[in-house]
Amino acid sequence: MERRILCFHKQYAKHYVIGFIYERNLDANEGQIYKVEQIAELPRPYKNVEVFVQEKYKIAGEKPGSGNTENIGSYKTSNMDYLIAGEGPFSMLGMKVFEQYWSGYPKYRAMTKDYTSLEEYFTFCEKKGLDVDELRRKYVYWKTIH
């Protein structure tokens, strides 16, 4: 009997993210001590939880998750429906642009950085002789509706 080991590294069709949107429960106080028999009374630190599944590139933003990391971050929005529906900037620009943008995004400690935003990325691409007018138009449109 032949046994095969499947390697999925760089061999996946799509990359999904499970997102949790919640509201902080201000009634839950950090460090408050309860007895074991009071466990049912413990206030949860969160409330109004929504769960969604979306393709990573559709909820990715143009900045890292925080200022001191190399993780891909989502975009800021006051309308959570945009995240749930997967309406991030790369949803209009496409997965190929997402992959090119983030594979070339500078490391956190890099001394020189070719780009750190989509606008700078478009300029960087133009300097390499690429026509990004359509991408820039889509991005400007995305910003106007989000």
- Residue 6 falls inside a structural domain: no
Which residues have a Cβ under 8 Å from the Cβ of 143 and sit 6 or more positions away? 89
User: Which residues in 71-86 are b (16+ Cβ under 10 Å) and which e?
Assistant: ebebbeeeeeebbbeb
pLDDT in tens, 111-120: 899 999 999 9
Output the domain CATH number for residue 20. Answer: 3.40.600.10
Of 41, 40, 39, 45, the C-alpha closest to 27 is 45
DSSP assignment of 94-113: -HHHHHHHHHHSPPTT-SS-
Q: What distance in Å separates the CA atoms of residue 53 and residue 15, rounded to the nearest whole number?
A: 10
Q: What distance in Å separates the CA atoms of residue 109 and residue 107, rounded to the nearest whole number?
A: 6
pLDDT value for 17: 92
- Residue 90 falls inside a structural domain: yes
- Residue 100 falls inside a structural domain: yes
pLDDT in tens, 9-51: 566 778 899 998 899 999 888 888 889 999 898 889 999 999 9
Query: Which pTM was predicted?
Result: 0.77
pLDDT in tens, 63-109: 988 766 678 888 888 898 999 999 999 999 999 999 999 999 988 88
pLDDT value for 6: 45
Q: CA neighbours within 13 Å on the CB side: how many for 53?
A: 3
- Residue 5 falls inside a structural domain: no
pLDDT value for 4: 47
Question: What is the residue whose two structure tokens read 């691409």?
Answer: 125
- Residue 114 falls inside a structural domain: yes
Tell me the residue range of the domain where 130 lies. Answer: 16-145
Confidence of residue 131 (pLDDT cuts 50, 70, 90): very high
If you ran DSSP here, which 8-state letter would residue 16 be given?
E
- Residue 58 falls inside a structural domain: yes
Total tally of structural domains belonging to the chain: 1
pLDDT exceeds 80 at position 7: no
- Residue 3 falls inside a structural domain: no
pLDDT value for 10: 61
